Every structure is written in structure tokens, then in C-alpha cells.
Amino acid sequence: MTFHAQAAWLDGRAVADVRISTVAGRITALTPGTPAEPGDEVLTGLVFPGFANAHSHAFHRGLRGRTHGDGGTFWTWRTAMYSLAGSLTPDTYRDLATAAFTEMVLAGFTAVGEFHYVHHRPDGTPHDEPNAFALALRDAARTAGIRLVLLDTLYLTSAPGEPPLPEQRRFSDGSAQAWARRVKQIPADEFFRVGVAAHSVRAVGPADLSVVAETAWDLGAPVHVHLSEQPAENEACRRAYGCTPTELLDRAGALSPALTVVHANHVTDADVALLGARQASVAGCPTTEADLGDGVGRYRALVDAGSVLALGTDQHAVVDPFAETRGLEGASRLGSLRRGVFSPAELVAALTTGGHRSLGLEGGSLQVGQPADLVAVRTDSVRTAGSDPAQLAMTAAAQDVTDVVVAGEFRVRGGVHLAVPGERLVEILRSLP
């Protein structure tokens, strides 16, 4: 199939009239400055490489609009999250994840990293199929038409040295070794990759962090971890281990270019230097961090030190890649008292090349040999009309995404998902308890 882009994002800039030839889901030729030919699939607006959502908890989508009544903190929000997690079955999670993943595809995401820690029955006993929840997520991603990297998450303690709380028992495999054995049984394919994660240094101790790193090495997989999202996490780590969470990861041999740290809102100058020296990725989730009152991440400092920036929608208070780019830049401006902390091209890179690197995936750029994952964004909407196309990352919204192509096939056309009707999404979300 051959697509004709009215304009396409090539090498960090908008280029007019680009024909994109594809075979077997990959780009075989790019021809700028060429008019459409008969038979071309015409994509209007500006065509970007597919966006990668580097950090997702699909079931958190069920909390949207349900946790704001009493204010509170991250820790009070967590109570509501545990209640929702406790109600899930593989079937209900499949439905909820189908809605979450479909919303992502409609917004322009063609790949997602699912930070997955709901593993077992509420009392902690395994299902007959130990990976029933993982396979439910796989099925949901297939229905939505999104590439899924399942970041299967080790979760053993409620705090350093403390057993899981009753509401956390279904997250735990009992030991890092049992977790690793289960993870290695998950069947992967071209659109469903398996990665690993440690939930946090609250939930995984130093010896078990090493098991996570070793398992990632064995699988050739990316590894993710929540890092310094809250000051209380840092304080608990210092009390237990005499160091910051970043330093603990380094002692465990977990800091590497294969690692993505999520949030990093409360890292020290020494942490920033260490993460940059190890070339770890950092996944910012600005809309979630604002929603939960987490604080402002030190993303400019981390990138300047050598880290690679990615973006995620995390708890899905909003599913909009451009809300994340504006949230990142807006928070950075508020923290630094200056504009243009990140250039529009850097923000696009966080959604594309940075996100794919974080997930260990090919893609993120329009180049010959890369996956044919394409996102067409309107340049003539009430939000984008008059914008410099190079600055759409600061003006567009998810509603401006008209067409989404994954592996050379349309998943969204004219703003409509081709496999999951909008009324089905509404039905799923209205059925939540």
C-alpha cells in the first residue's frame, strides 16, 4: 500500500507532499515533493510517526472522574485505586483495557507500555492460567490494534521489609524467582512483546531488584520502575537503605540504557547525574503528575545529563499525546520561569523515538525499513489553523487525529476506530461498578 501525506514529519521537521510506500507493514520508500498518484491513500494534515505511550496502567482508566470529590493526596487516591483493582477479573479487565487501548489508538498512540501488576486472585492465589490477566491485556490490545509491550511487574512488599497489605496480595508472586518463572511463560509475538518492571523500591528490595535486571537481560527486554514519585518514597528508602532510590538501583546493577524510570519527580542533583551517566530513559506523565499532585519532574536537567525522554498517560486522567507535551512544557516553564524549556521537535521526539526506545521497539521515525505506523493530524481545526506545522505539539489535541495506521493498515479512519464502535466504549465504561 502507498500513502500520500500532505505533509510528513521527516528528520524533525514538516516536509510537504511525501509518498510513503509500504510492503508487509514496513516502509519501503519515502519520496518527498511528489504529488499523489491514483490509488494512493491520501492522508491530510501533518503525518507523524506513530506515538508510543511509554507508561500505562489500563485499569486506572476506570477511576477517571471518580476521585476528585474529597481532594486528598496521592495516598488517598491510592485507596480508590486498590478498591478498583480488587474488583477486577480477567474478563472485566479485558473489557476495560479494550476501552483504554482503543481510546489511545484514537488519540494517535500506536504502541503502549503496560505497567502490569494485577496478576492473581484477590487472595493472592494464581488463576488456573497463571498469566490470565496478561493474556486478557494481549487480547484487548489486539482488538484495539495497538502494539503492546507488557511490562510485567514484580511487587513483593508494602514498604521495605514489610509484607504486602491485604489489598496488595493479588499483585505479588511471593518471591522474585516465582515471578521470573511466570513471566518467562508468557507467549510473545510481533505485536505483543514482554518486558519487565519493578514496581518501586517500596515494593522490591535490593536483592530482588537484581533478579529483575537479570530477567530483563535473559529476555532481551526493557525494564521499567516507578522512581521518586513521592517524597515519602525517598524518605523510606533512606531509612531502610541509607541512600536514594536511584542509588539503590545503581547498587543493584539496574541502571542501564535498557532502564526507564517513571516520574523521577523528586530526584537529587546526584541522582540526575547518575541517571544521565547510565543513559537511562525517563518517562514523564505530566497529566497524571498534575492530577495526583506529584510535583514537577526535573526533565530538562535529566535530558541535559544524558537521559532520553519519553511520555506516558499513566492513570489516563487524559488520553491525549498533545496534552502530555503541553503539560511537560507548561510545568517546566512554571518551574524555571522561562519559555521554551523544550523545543517542539524535542516534544515530538519524546512521543516518537524516545517512547519507542523506552519500550525496546523499532519505530518512532519515518524511515525506510521502519514499521509503517502513521498518525495524521489536522492542521485546519479550530485548534491548529494558523499554527506553524512544526509547532503542532503545542497546539493540537487528540480530537485532531484523523487517521491512524499500524503496520500499514488503517486502525482509525476519519476519526472513527474501525474495529471498536464508539458506543461500545461508552457501554464498557458505563458498566463499571
Phi first, then psi: give them for residue 110, nearest 5 degrees.
-110, -5
| DSSP state for residue 419 in the 8-state scheme | S
Catalytic hit among 4, 57, 199, 263: 263
Cell numbers at 181, concatenated: 518463572
150 in helix, strand or coil? Answer: strand
- Residue 307, helix vs strand vs coil: coil
Given 95, 250, 271, 314, which residue is catalytic? Answer: 314
Contacts of 293 (CB under 8 A, 6+ apart): 73, 74
Q: How far is CA 16 from CA 51, 114, 294, 405, in A?
A: 20, 35, 41, 19
Q: Give the burial class of 273: count Cβ atoms within 10 A of its Cβ; 0-12 exposed, 13-18 middle, 19 or more buried.
A: middle
Q: How far is CA 8 from the centre of its chain?
A: 24
Per the document, the length of the chain is 433
For the chain, helix, strand, coil in percent to 5 are 40, 25, 35
Grid cell, residue 30, equals: 519515502
Instruction: For residue 314, indicate whether it is catalytic.
Output: yes
Bridge-based pairing state of the strands 147-154 and 192-198: parallel
The answer to whether residue 250 is catalytic is: no
Q: Which secondary structure element, helix H or strand E, spans residue 15, and what is its range?
A: strand 13-23
Asked if residues 223 and 216 have their Cβ atoms less than 8 Å apart, the reply is: yes
List active site positions: 263, 314
